[in-house]
Chain A
Amino acid sequence: MNSESKKALLREQYQRFVGRKFIFLLLLLAGIIILAGIASTLGSANIGVLDVYSAILSRLLPGHFHSSWFAETIVWGLRLHRILLSVVAGMGLAIAGAVMQGILKNPLASPFTLGISSAASFGAALAIVLGAGFGGGDWLIIVNAFIFTVLASMTVYGLAKYKGITPETMILAGIAIMYLFQAMTSFLQYLGQAEQVQEVVFWMMGSLGRSSWDKVWIVSAVLAICFPYLLFKSWDINALGAGDETATSLGVNVEKTRVICMMLVSLITASVICFTGTIGFIGLVSPHITRMIIGGDHRFLLPASALVGGLLLLAADTAARTVLSPVILPVGIMTAFLGVPFFVYLFLKRKKEFW
């Protein structure tokens, strides 16, 4: 075979290789849309499936579709924002998880590795037990959780910088911060009344019950700002996976990349969990599932993890709403149940290639 045909063969193989990943992304997108369509028909009001879809379409394409005021109010006022919040929250957590695993070179890293969930829980507990913090009324818990999350990442950064920003120092600093905030949260729980403690515990389980269009807007906006930059950095994150020295020799500013990615991850995570509480496992499991199917190239891994995360959280929330109806389970319980079979599977199928 001459070099021309070799090149053509190579190109064809590469196209197929990339094409598979593309198809996976499109399938995920379709999956989310279908699941969202199913989820929007589930609820206790007496609206038929066709009514739900007419209600959705009548707002998007007015004039072509008509629906009753009641169906529109239920779908747009009560159901859709919860579904959309679960999708964007899942996307945010999954992206954060994938980036964390990339920059820390640790398959068990999650958005919460740097003590973020403990800090957010502390902020929420401070608001619930002592009524202290920033913002007022409903926003007290939200703003507190956000501010303490950002504070925690700044502290981790400060601590790690002292010894050089490597995965080891970041994880150690993160663990220190995690224990600090955990201890303070426990102390607050000890001080609180039974009802307050219950409230803190439920906040830590994570729930999508307090969704609203404003929150969907805010989380989408944060994602829309942070995601393009993270995608832009995906080559660098790929390089980091080969080792710090290799990456430096490839021209990657290792420390700067780590710090910026960490900050963006904290921002995304903070903006999601301040509204939903700490929802575990999505950030940990989505990148793994994605990696098993399309490999570890972050140019595809990031968008695909996002879609997997959105799909997973939407599925978990839909299950949490309907499985014990009319009782609504906190979504964090569902995602925890999801995580178990996944890790059992990983454990049973231990191969060198899964990372």
Chain B
Amino acid sequence: MRTYSISALLILILAALMLCSSVHAADGSFSSNVTAGKYPMTFTDSADRNVTIQMPIERIIVLSTDAAEAVELMGAEDMIVGVSDTVQKYSWTFPNLKKKALVGKWSAPDYETIGQIAKGNEDSITPNILVLGYPSGKMAGKSYAVDAVEAGLKPFKNIPVAGFSFYKADSLDEELRKLGQILNKEDKAQEYIAWKSSKREAIASTVKGESLVKVYFESAQPKGLGELKSNGAGADIDRSIRLAGGINVFGSSKEETVTTDWETVIKENPDIIFQAKADDMMGWRAFPSSETAAAQKARDEIMSRAGGSAVNAIKNDKIWILYRKILYGPGSVIGATYMAKLMHPEADLDPEGAYKEYLDLLGVDYPEGRTFVYPELESD
């Protein structure tokens, strides 16, 4: 009999748990201090979600380096109150964000911390805060996409979340325009779009009429010659290559990433080889430094690959290691300018000057004594 009573107690506990689950959260109300006209503002983010903001945004939490860069482009850096680990790590491009509060990993934000930051010293959350994350993505069994962030922040009720990629070439302009509207910085968005357009124009007009150069682009340092990573026509880097007056040897593939082997590359016989190399600082310290030594090693590895003497690029010593950051994101036109200058050395282009202009838009100082392509371009 007594065992049954203990079991009955257990069942009662389970029933209590079920009841607890149905206890709903109390409302966290706020005083609606809505400025007439524009608010509440509703927009669609890049994950096709309708996001509503109740009042002007004064605080931003960025969960990705791309979002941080976009906010910097809008000149709204001061509004950032929380950053993810990657933003803190890349402190060279975000010198003013080093001291901001850490909200967790970019792939696993800490919702308690975000709630803590959002509430500040009050016991409620004024909805003038916006969280910017990626529109989609899954990694390591968890989703870091905007839906997961929204679900995690749901208990707080007053924290709008928007998902923008801020790096995909075909949606970037539109996303920056939207961000400009949200932050009331439409003019800054327009300034960037106009600048990018003029840079693209400059490249296109200079390389017009030049013969196309066959490019083999290696997106990462390979682990083995049987497994090289490149990109096809589905990738933004392919667009940059074509803009710069080149043909991507794997441009016939519609995929974004292409896994290939060295034999295929020999068959394609590119005229120039680019390898993207990551680094967590802005560019590499000028030669001689440990970073340029690493770039030299990468270059030597390519030069020494078996069968290299049959490849034009290796025969003519046209191999460059490119700093990854200038190839992707809102500053990718810089990478295109560098590639154009490397492919067509007589072209009237100034990649370094262009990069200075871009960093001006970001409000970051140009780092002197840094290398962005290795071997370095001879300065005019």
A-side residues, CB < 8 A to B, are 18, 22, 25, 29, 43-46, 59, 68-70, 72-74, 76-78, 80-81, 84, 88, 128, 195-196, 198-203, 205, 207, 209-210, 213-214, 216-217, 220-221, 223-224, 227-228, 231, 277, 299-300, 302-303, 306-307, 326-328, 330
**Cβ–Cβ contact A44 & B14, under 8 A:** no
In the bound complex, residues from chain A placing their C-beta under 8 Å from that of B116 are 44-46, 70
Selected contact of A84 from candidates B2, B4, B20, B110, CB within 8 Å? B20
**Cβ–Cβ contact B14 & A223, under 8 A:** yes
Residue of B nearest to A209 (CB): B142
Selected contact of A44 from candidates B7, B9, B108, B110, CB within 8 Å? B110
**Cβ–Cβ contact A22 & B6, under 8 A:** yes
In the bound complex, residues from chain A placing their C-beta under 8 Å from that of B2 are 18, 22
B141 within 8 A of A: yes
**Cβ–Cβ contact B23 & A76, under 8 A:** yes
* Selected A-B contacts with CB under 8 Å, 28 pairs: A22-B6, A43-B112, A44-B113, A45-B112, A46-B116, A70-B115, A70-B119, A72-B25, A73-B156, A74-B155, A76-B23, A78-B111, A78-B112, A78-B155, A88-B17, A128-B138, A195-B139, A199-B139, A199-B140, A202-B141, A213-B20, A217-B22, A220-B14, A223-B14, A227-B7, A228-B7, A277-B141, A300-B3
Q: How large is the interface on B (under 10, 10 to 19, 20 to 34, 35 or more residues)?
A: 35 or more
A199 and B142 alpha carbons, distance in the complex (Å): 7
B15 within 8 A of A: yes
SS of B interface (majority): helix
In the bound complex, residues from chain B placing their C-beta under 8 Å from that of A22 are 2, 6
Q: Would you list which residues of chain B between 9 and 38 have a CB under 8 Å from chain A?
A: 9-11, 14-15, 17-18, 20-23, 25-26, 28
A205 and B124 alpha carbons, distance in the complex (Å): 37
Identify which of A43, A213, A299 gathers the most chain B CB atoms within 10 Å of its CB.
A213
Q: Known contacts A45-B116, A73-B155, A198-B139: does B21 contact A216 (CB below 8 Å)? A: yes
Selected contact of A76 from candidates B6, B110, B152, B155, CB within 8 Å? B155
**Cβ–Cβ contact A81 & B113, under 8 A:** no
Residue of B nearest to A199 (CB): B141
B210 within 8 A of A: no
**Cβ–Cβ contact B18 & A195, under 8 A:** no
SS of A interface (majority): helix
**Cβ–Cβ contact A202 & B142, under 8 A:** yes
Residue of B nearest to A325 (CB): B110
In the bound complex, residues from chain B placing their C-beta under 8 Å from that of A74 are 112, 115, 155
A201 and B140 alpha carbons, distance in the complex (Å): 8
Min CB–CB distance A279 → chain B (angstroms): 13
A227 and B123 alpha carbons, distance in the complex (Å): 42
Residue of B nearest to A26 (CB): B6
In the bound complex, residues from chain A placing their C-beta under 8 Å from that of B11 are 224, 227-228
A18 and B6 alpha carbons, distance in the complex (Å): 12
In the bound complex, residues from chain A placing their C-beta under 8 Å from that of B111 are 78
Min CB–CB distance A324 → chain B (angstroms): 12
In the bound complex, residues from chain A placing their C-beta under 8 Å from that of B124 are 69-70
Closest 10 CB pairs of A and B: A77-B155, A202-B141, A45-B112, A213-B21, A217-B21, A68-B123, A299-B3, A44-B112, A224-B14, A220-B14
Q: Known contacts A69-B124, A76-B155: does B6 contact A25 (CB below 8 Å)? A: yes
Selected contact of A195 from candidates B104, B115, B138, CB within 8 Å? B138
B315 within 8 A of A: no
In the bound complex, residues from chain B placing their C-beta under 8 Å from that of A81 are 21
**Cβ–Cβ contact A69 & B154, under 8 A:** no
**Cβ–Cβ contact B108 & A328, under 8 A:** yes
Q: Known contacts A76-B25, A198-B140, A299-B3: does B113 contact A220 (CB below 8 Å)? A: no
Give 17 new A-B contacts, CB below 8 A, not counting A29-B9, A210-B142, A303-B7.
Answer: A22-B6, A43-B112, A46-B116, A73-B115, A76-B23, A76-B155, A77-B155, A77-B156, A84-B20, A88-B14, A199-B140, A213-B21, A217-B17, A224-B11, A227-B11, A303-B3, A303-B10
A347 and B2 alpha carbons, distance in the complex (Å): 34
**Cβ–Cβ contact B123 & A214, under 8 A:** no
In the bound complex, residues from chain B placing their C-beta under 8 Å from that of A69 are 26, 28, 123-124
In the bound complex, residues from chain A placing their C-beta under 8 Å from that of B115 are 45, 70, 73-74, 78
